[in-house]
Structure 1
Amino acid sequence: MNRGIVFGLILYLTSSVIWGQVAGNMNCMSCRNRTIIGNGNEFLTAGTFSIRMGQYEEGIRLTELGLTRYQPSRRDRSVAQSNLCAAYAARGEPFVAIDYCTESIRLEEGNWRAYNNRAYSYYLLGKLSEATVDLDMAAQINSDARQVLQLRGMINERGLRPRVIMEDHQ
């Protein structure tokens, strides 16, 4: 009797997990906030992990190895380029970052993270109008992304800073 209950409970839990995965795959809206970490490309995977841990030099090195040693898919190349963009922006090299983001967007126009990363790079350069254009594109693709909302707040805050105008008195 107890084995039957335990078996039934396991079957119920397993089927609900499987059903949830199938239902999640049917609706790609839930896929938008996932980070894809390469399929079988250990260099891209390790590069992503290093960048997330703030080890930008190592992340850049590993990601570039993953791009040159393997033939990643167009999607994985786009993600890797976006990761390189994020790493260079985090290192304070927005000019280099913008080139990587632009390449990522060229490979896959629907990559909202690349638009967001490029918007951040423009923000670092003080180019708020360009940053806003890219951020609007990222929001069109994934309006629920907290990174988009956070960067929009940063841009708005910088745009609202008070400016003092001095007059010459004679």
Structure 2
Amino acid sequence: MSISHEYMSRLLAFGVVIFLAALFLLSVPSNAQDQVIYVNADRNIEKGQDAMRDGDYERAVRYLKKAARRGLSSEHRAIVQNSLCASLYFQGAYEEAATACTDAITEDGRYWKAFVNRGHARKALGDMSGALADYCEARELSPKHVSGVFQSQCEG
């Protein structure tokens, strides 16, 4: 095979790859939503979750607070704030836990786990009506995951 023939074969193969890539890009719907793709996970989130699994809530709070200060997507901020809420709750910092859960709910108003966790924090603070409201909202958002004796007190 001559050098020019090999060169033409490679050029043709490259052209086919470019054509297929363009065809793929044109097949993506124009109304597709933008997505944030994280190539490198935030190490603070990972370390915070690991600390939670280990029951080291002081360390979890430290890492999750660092993660919360970073430029995260709304979905990740909600998850981090909810994990921070749970860790603070287990440390007995109920007001700060409730605030972290409120931040998670602000990011994602359909995040039922944040309502449950804020309900726990409010109950620990003696705010039974606030806790009930959170438990009922969590139940409304995800009835298959949330149940308890409070159900009979929820409207509807």
Q: TM-score range by the shorter chain?
A: 0.5 to 0.7
| Other-structure match for 1:67 | 68
CA distance in 2, matches of 1:140, 1:131: 14
Q: Which runs of 5+ in 2 are unaligned?
A: 1-39, 152-156
Pairing of 1:41-120 with structure 2 (within 5 A): 41-68=42-69, 70-120=70-120
C-alpha RMSD of matched pairs (Å): 1.7
* Distance in 1 of aligned mates of 2:100 and 2:83: 9
- Alpha-carbon shift at residue 126 of structure 1 (Å): 2.2
> CA separation in 2, counterparts of 1:142 and 1:42?
30
Match of 1:167? none
Normalization by structure 2: what TM-score?
A: 0.66
Q: Secondary structure at the match of 2:77?
A: helix
1: CA distance between counterparts of 2:141 and 2:73? Answer: 21
* Partner secondary structure for residue 79 of structure 2: helix
Query: What is the deviation of 1:54?
Result: 1.3
CA gap of 1:125–1:139, structure 2 versus 1, over 3 A, is: same
Distance 2:50 2:78 in 1: 17
CA-CA distance at 1:105 after TM superposition: 0.6
Alignment coverage as a number of residue pairs = 112
Alpha-carbon deviation of 1:117?
Answer: 0.5
Distance 2:124 2:105 in 1: 19
**Distance in 2 between residues matched to 1:138 and 1:51, nearest whole Å:** 22
SS at 1:126 equivalent: coil
* AA aligned opposite 2:91: R
Unpaired segments ≥5 residues, structure 1: 1-38, 157-170
Which is further off, 123-132 or 73-82? 123-132
Output the CA distance in 2 between the equivalents of 1:82 and 1:42. Answer: 17
Q: Deviations over 1:34-73 (max 9, x none)?
A: xxxxx711211220221232111110111122223x4211
Partner of 1:136: 136
